[in-house]
A = this chain, B = another copy of it.
């Protein structure tokens, strides 16, 4: 009969795990709660064919795993739109460059990142100190002035982790910077993590991975409720069925992994970790116009806002459509404030923020599409989960440590490009390798 492995979750991590196992001759069954594959990616099409990427949307240099899969399956990319000035917008409405001192503070953080082992962030000499320090608290002394501190807090805790700077430890940020190759690689569009988009949207790649697994490898609309294991194997329980296997890869965020029942129950420290990696909080909205009118004004549509509900905007127009798409991101406390508003007021607040970037014409979009991943039962936040203050040191060793026959994947468990599609793939392949090493496969 040979080895059989069940995979929980058909996001990029679960699909990559299944593919790596299948290539080694292991039979896999992928169980996916949603009626689609791909996890935290979703592309919606307007009637005229305009592509709106509602979830993860970018790939960039050094993301070798995702770029390799795109090449293998013949999926094209196109460069993110960037046609003019990309200002920082100050609370008084002024458009200007980033605070001058910011680069020096980023250099310091990149130096911290170099001192983090991405495989064991808890093990470094400075780990305990950095793990107990919030980014906001650190910036109060490391940044030379409050404006620079505010800028960097929104840029790093918000833009990278979809959280407030009071919620993120310096260690988590340093790990994240290390994992992605430094602040420039993470923050840049051209030359960085926001360089390219995927023709047809990221779901096209997920579908290609699923297709490569074969016609019946992924069962959709099949939430996993419980995982039992003993010395002979595992049994994965869904609402209607049970899947027997030799091992299981749980390829969902830690907080959602904690909502699965385990028999025997998870060890205390592993369960405690799942209580301490909340998902980020982001709202992503697309405003669609007849054309990208801002380009005629020499504006890129790319901006970073130091105040207000929106932290970042990008020109998300696609070459194949004449329409202009402006996408806004709101993070952490600002996203939560938006969630507490009635829909009309929320939309007005978001359009006001866009108007501050590209002018009053932004207030009259033809389409306005919001997507809140925190409302999505099978994601419950984005971009990813992050350890709370002190939790890297307290519970980090549990992040990838298998529990018997249960192995952990998901982009949160990656060591390279954690939080990204590329990290999801790395994590899945690593979990598969763990199982192959154990079974001699």
- Taking beta carbons and an 8 Å cutoff, which residues of A are in contact with B? 131-134, 136-137, 164, 166-167, 225, 255, 258-259, 265, 267-269, 271-272, 275-276, 278-279, 281, 332-333, 336, 339-340, 372, 374-375, 377, 380-381, 388-391, 393-395
Q: Which residues of B contact A166 (CB under 8 A)?
A: 131-132, 389-390
Closest to A340 in B: B269
A-B contact list, 24 entries, CB within 8 Å: A131-B166, A132-B137, A133-B137, A134-B389, A166-B389, A166-B390, A167-B389, A167-B391, A167-B394, A225-B225, A258-B259, A268-B375, A268-B381, A269-B340, A269-B374, A271-B380, A272-B380, A275-B278, A275-B380, A278-B388, A336-B394, A336-B395, A388-B388, A389-B389
Instruction: Give the Cβ gap from A113 to chain B, nearest Cβ, in Å.
Output: 21
Determine the residue in chain B with the shortest Cβ distance to A335. Answer: B268
- The answer to whether A339 and B374 have CB atoms under 8 Å apart is no
Question: Chain B residues with Cβ under 8 A from A271's Cβ?
Answer: 374, 380
- Copies in the assembly, this chain: 2
Question: Given the complex, which residues of B lie within 8 Å of A391, measured CB to CB?
Answer: 167
Specify which chain B residues have a CB less than 8 angstroms from the CB of A275 in the assembled complex: 255, 278-279, 380-381
A74 to B225, CA, bound (A): 44
Chain B residues whose C-beta falls within 8 Å of the C-beta of A265 in the assembled complex: 375, 377
List, in ascending order, chain B residues with CB within 8 A of A259's CB: 258-259
Is B137's CB under 8 angstroms from A272's CB?
Answer: no
Residue of B nearest to A260 (CB): B259
Which 7 pairs between the two chains have the least Cβ-Cβ distance?
Answer: A268-B374, A132-B166, A275-B278, A265-B377, A166-B390, A388-B388, A268-B375
A137-B137, A167-B389 given; 4 more Cβ-contact pairs under 8 Å: A259-B259, A265-B375, A272-B279, A388-B388
Q: Which residues in B have their C-beta under 8 angstroms from that of A134? A: 132, 134, 389
How far apart are A213's CB and chain B's nearest CB, in angstroms? 28
Closest to A273 in B: B278
C-alpha spacing A271/B332, complex, angstroms:
14
Decide yes or no: A278 and B276 within 8 Å by CB, A134-B132, A259-B259, A268-B339 being known contacts. yes
**Min CB–CB distance A300 → chain B (angstroms):** 31
Residue numbers in B under 8 Å from A394 (CB-CB): 164, 167, 332-333, 336
Chain B positions within 8 Å of A340 at CB level: 269
Minimum CB–CB distance from A330 to chain B (whole Å) comes to 13
- Please give me the residue from chain B that is nearest to A259 by CB atom: B259
CA distance A259 to B225 in the complex (A): 10
Nearest Cβ distance between residue A146 and chain B, in whole angstroms? Answer: 14
Complex CA distance for A255 and B258, rounded to whole angstroms: 10
A38 CB to closest chain B CB (Å) equals: 19
**Bound Cα distance from A164 to B128, whole angstroms:** 12
Q: How far, in Å, is A157 (CB) from chain B's closest CB?
A: 10
In the assembly, what is the distance between CA of A380 and CA of B268, in Å?
A: 7
Inside 8 A of A395's CB, which chain B residues have their CB? 336
Smallest CB gap from A163: residue in B: B390
In the bound complex, residues from chain B placing their C-beta under 8 Å from that of A164 are 390, 394
- Known contacts A259-B258, A388-B167, A336 near B269 by CB under 8 Å: yes
Complex Cα spacing A166 to B381, Å: 25
**Chain B residues near A389 (CB-CB < 8 A):** 134, 166-167, 388-389
Tell me the complex Cα distance, A258–B131, Å. Answer: 26
State the Cβ distance, A258 to closest chain B Cβ, in Å: 7
- In the complex, the answer to whether B131 meets A269 with C-beta atoms within 8 Å is no
* Contact partner, A167, options B374, B381, B390, Cβ 8 Å: B390
B residues less than 8 Å from A381 (CB atoms): 268, 272, 275
The interface centre, meaning the residue of A133, A276, A339, A381 with most chain B CB atoms within 10 A of its CB, is A276
Question: A332 — which chain B residues lie within 8 A by C-beta?
Answer: 394
Tell me which residues across on chain B come within 8 A of A339, comparing CB atoms.
267-269
A393 to B136 Cα, complex, angstroms: 15
When distances are taken between beta carbons in the complex, the residues of chain B under 8 Å from A279 are: 272, 275
CB distance from A277 to the nearest CB of B (A): 8
Contact partner of A272 (CB less than 8 A), chosen from B225, B276, B281, B377, is B281
